[in-house]
Amino acid sequence: MNLEQILFTQGFGHRRVCAGLVAAGAVRIGGRVVDDPGADFETAGLEFEVDGMAWSFRLPALLMLHKPAGYECSKKPRHHPSVMSLLPAPLRHRGVQPVGRLDEDTTGLLLFTDDGQLIHRLTSPKHHVPKVYQVTARHPVSDAQLQRLRDGVVLDDDPAPVAALAAERTGESSLALTLAEGRYHQVKRMLAAVGNRCEGLHRSHFGALALPADLAAGRWRWVDQAVC
């Protein structure tokens, strides 16, 4: 693939902008400036720099973000900043989207991609991709509450019971809840349905992915393994 096309696919601007970046000497590959927009490169494993910013070629893009509290999973947020503001401009320009949503006060693992089919596969209830949430409850969590969560509770928007794949106590007033769906405020409403209240919520796993301990809140990194 030629260098102009490489930059274009990675979100560095329209073709003319990308060609201009190359011609201006803003692109380095292997430590040397490449100023020919038509120069061809093998894209597999390609690492390069644009205006000093290191970049890895990814097509499609799949990345994870450690979402902090106080951010909305929307491109047009109403009350808080968008999670998109935590990503570099090329990712925003190429159209990556959150895979599902986390509430503004929920923290943890949030995936992004520009692959529409992957978004559907990871968010469709029929594919049963598990997500694990670490929940802090207002009141002590009883064995009876855990069992009700596993058996299924009825939410106010659907008469069919919604059950957790797993519900395990992690402390007197905390639990790990595994779900295969992603309904609006689902964890909070499930806790309320068993007579408790969600005071804090953090997603630690999405499918086969776990939020790395060394990924600080507000930071992102590429995902190179299968999600499910």
Q: Note the pTM of the prediction, 2 decimals.
A: 0.93
Any idea what the CATH number is for the domain that residue 99 is in?
A: 3.30.70.580
Over residues 99-143, the pLDDT tens digits come to 999 999 999 999 999 999 999 999 987 888 999 999 999 999 999
pLDDT at 75: 82
In a domain? residue 96 = yes
Number of domains in the chain: 3
Alpha-helical segments (H) within the chain: 3-9, 15-23, 89-93, 116-123, 143-151, 186-193
In a domain? residue 227 = no
Q: Would you say residue 207 has pLDDT above 90? A: yes
202 and 216 in a single domain? The answer is: no
DSSP 199-217: EEEEEEEETTEE--TT--T
Q: Which residue in the list 36, 40, 103, 156 is annotated as catalytic?
A: 103
Over residues 48-104, the pLDDT tens digits come to 999 999 999 999 999 999 999 999 998 888 889 999 999 999 999 999 999 999 999
* Helix, strand, or coil (residue 159): strand
DSSP state of 182: -
135 and 187 in a single domain? The answer is: yes
Any idea what the CATH number is for the domain that residue 46 is in?
A: 3.10.290.10
What's the order of all strands across the beta sheet hosting 27-29? 32-33, 27-29, 47-50, 53-56
Q: pLDDT confidence of 183, banded at 50, 70, 90?
A: confident
Tell me which residue has tokens 């692959």.
115
User: Does residue 103 have an active-site annotation?
Assistant: yes
